[in-house]
Chain A
Amino acid sequence: MSVFPDPDSFRTFVEKNFSALASFARSVLGNDLDAEDIAQDALVLLYRRRAGLRPEGSPRAYLYRITLRLCLARRRREARREAISTLFAPLLRQEVPPASEPVDSWFRSLTVRQAAIAHLYFAEDFDAGEIAERLRIAPSTVRVQLKRIRSRLRRLHGAGPASERCSDVP
C-alpha cells in the first residue's frame, strides 16, 4: 500500500511540512529567493516516487534528503556560474544573489552539510541521532560537525563586528 494513497493525504502532509521544509532549504541555500522553489520541487519528487516508499519508512526524512540534494545541486550550479563570471568578468557580470539577512549570511559561510545539520539542530531542535537518521549519515559525523559549527559560532561572536565582515569566507 502506498504511503500517500490519495491526493488528500498528500495535501495534509504538505500543509504540515511545507513551512519547515522551506526554512530548511533557505538555511542550506543561504538565501530565500529559491528556497520555496526547491521545497516545492522536493515535494513533487516525493509524490512521484511515492510508489517506491516503504510504509514503515519516514517520508519526512526522505523529503529532507531530497531537499538537501536539490540544494547541493543548486549551490554547485551557482559556484560554476560564479567561476565562469570570474573568468569572463569584463564580458559577463552575473552575481550570486546576496543573502537577505545576517542569519542567511552566516549559513552561507558553512558547507552544505554543515548548514543542514545546523538548521536541524537549532531550528528543529533535533539531537545528533535524529539528525543522523534524517540525513542518513553517521551520528559521530553529526557530533563532529556540530562541534565545529558551535565553535565557529562562538568564534564569530567573540571576535565582534570586525570579523563579521570576514564571515562570508568559507
Chain B
Amino acid sequence: MFHEEELRRELKRRRPRSGREIWPGLQHRLEAAPQRPRLRWAAGIAACVAAAAFIFLSRGGNRPDRGPAVRIAQVRAFGVPAHAIVLEPDPHTVMVIVEGRTKEEENP
C-alpha cells in the first residue's frame, strides 16, 4: 500500500484550514460562557435524589400505626379468632381474615 516515504508525502500534502481562517469562529467560542455539562448533570441528579427523598419522607408520616396493644390473638371476627390482619383495600382500612366456611358451604 505505502512506502514510508509515500506515507510521509501523503501526510505533508494534507491541507486543513489554517489557524487564521478558523480564528474568528474560535474566538467567538472562547468568549461564550463556559459550559459545564458535568456540573449540570450533577445538579440534575441531586435535584432528582432530593425530590425522591422528600416524597419518601413525607409519605412516612401518614402510615397507620396499629398501636402496641393490638395482637392477632386478641382479634376476633364473628366470634372466630383472626387468622390474619391485612391493610386492605387501602392503608387506612383493616381487613380481618378468619378461617371458616362460607354460607353456601354451610347451607348447600
Chain B, interface residues (CB within 8 Å), range: 20 to 34
Q: What residues of chain B lie closer than 8 Å to A47, measured between beta carbons?
A: 30
Q: Which residues of A contact B7 (CB under 8 A)?
A: 103, 106, 122, 153
Decide yes or no: A14 and B19 within 8 Å by CB, A7-B27, A40-B29 being known contacts: yes
Contact A22 B2 (CB under 8 A): no
Determine the chain B residues whose CB is within 8 A of the CB of A17 once the complex forms: 19
A 54-87 contacts with B by CB, 8 A:
none
The B interface, classified by DSSP as helix, strand, loop or mixed, is helix
B2 contacts A14, CB within 8 Å? no
Partner of B2, one of A32, A36, A119, A153: A153
Asked if residues B23 and A22 are in contact (CB atoms below 8 Å), the reply is no
**CB-based A-B contact count at 8 angstroms:** 81
A58 to chain B, nearest CB (A): 18
Quick one: which of B37-66 are within 8 Å of A by CB? none
Complex: how many Å from CA A18 to CA B23? 9
Contact of A16 among B12, B19, B29 (CB under 8 A): B19
Residue-by-residue, is B5-39 near A (CB-CB < 8 Å gives 1, otherwise 0)?
A: 00110111011111110110111011000100000
Number of A interface residues in the complex (CB < 8 A): 35
CB–CB B1/A106 < 8 A: yes
Which residues of chain B come closer than 8 Å to A123, judged between CB atoms? 8, 11-12
Give A164 to B1 CA distance when docked, in angstroms.
7
A35 interface residue per 8 A CB criterion: yes
Contact in complex: A103, B16 (CB < 8 Å): no
Q: Which chain B residues border A26 with CB–CB below 8 Å? A: 14, 16
Pick the contact of A19 from B8, B18, B25 — CB < 8 Å?
A: B18
Is B4 in the interface zone, CB < 8 Å from A?
yes
Given that A40-B26, A106-B2 are known contacts, is A18 also in contact with B17, CB under 8 Å in the complex? yes
Can you give 6 A-B contacts (C-beta < 8 A)?
Answer: A10-B30, A14-B19, A102-B10, A103-B10, A122-B8, A153-B7
Write the residues of chain B forming the contact surface with A, with a CB cutoff of 8 angstroms.
Answer: 1-4, 7-8, 10-12, 14-20, 22-23, 25-27, 29-30, 34
| Given contact pairs A19-B16, A22-B16, A153-B3, a sample of 18 additional A-B residue pairs in the complex whose CB atoms are under 8 Å apart | A7-B30, A10-B30, A14-B19, A14-B23, A14-B26, A15-B20, A15-B23, A19-B19, A23-B11, A36-B17, A40-B26, A43-B26, A44-B30, A48-B34, A103-B11, A106-B1, A122-B4, A153-B7
